[in-house]
Amino acid sequence: MRILGIMGSPRKGGNTDTLVDAVLKAAGAAGHTTEKIRLGEHEIRPCVDCRICKTEPFVCPVDDGMPEIIGRLEVADVLVLGTPVYWCGPTGQMKTFFDRLRPFYSDRRLSGKRAILTTAAADGPSESDLVVEMFRRSLGFLDVELAGFVQGKAYDRGEIHLDVDAMAHAQALGATL
């Protein structure tokens, strides 16, 4: 299987990055092909609600780096989404990325794929529940199954290692893909 990590955090080596890496490392050890992209390294402009993507050929006309990411999405079997919690939601990079997935709602190209969500928040699960629900609903619109999620408790860099349950859960999800 092809596993694509999609990092919504701007912080390389941060807590969310560590969780995504734990899932990908375990999936790689189980024999799967893994890759990770960092949304912050791609120019992704916001959706302008032109609605052109709702009709064939179901392509967004915004000229930016999104087509490269879309090509990777289409060949992946599983998506590993990572975002810290910023003000009760995902990062701006992740939200903009999701807004630009509108063409997939119309043409169902992501239908049948699975996703794993990793979050890191200062207060852990009690702070990331809304993010999990947002992803559950958004992925449901795309006919992508949310196969599992990890809600880590961490704020400062490296604190995720103190949440041994979240780290173990991330590794277990990757190993069972």
pLDDT digits (tens, 9 = 90+) for 94-135: 999 999 999 999 899 999 999 999 999 999 999 999 999 999
**Helix, strand or coil, per DSSP, at residue 169:** helix
Q: Does domain 12-120+127-175 have CATH number 3.20.20.140?
A: no
Between the ranges 53-57, 103-107, 140-144, where is the mean pLDDT highest?
A: 140-144
Q: How confident is the model at residue 92 (pLDDT cuts 50, 70, 90)?
A: very high
**Summary mean pLDDT of the chain:** 96
What confidence score (pLDDT) does residue 126 get? 93
Domain boundaries, the chain: 12-120+127-175
What pLDDT score does 70 carry? Answer: 94
Strand-pairing partners, residue 2, are 33
Tell me how far apart the alpha carbons of residues 38 and 5 are, in angstroms, rounded to a whole number.
Answer: 8
Question: For residue 165, what are the contacts with CB-CB under 8 A and spacing of at least 6?
Answer: none
pLDDT given for residue 12 in this prediction: 94
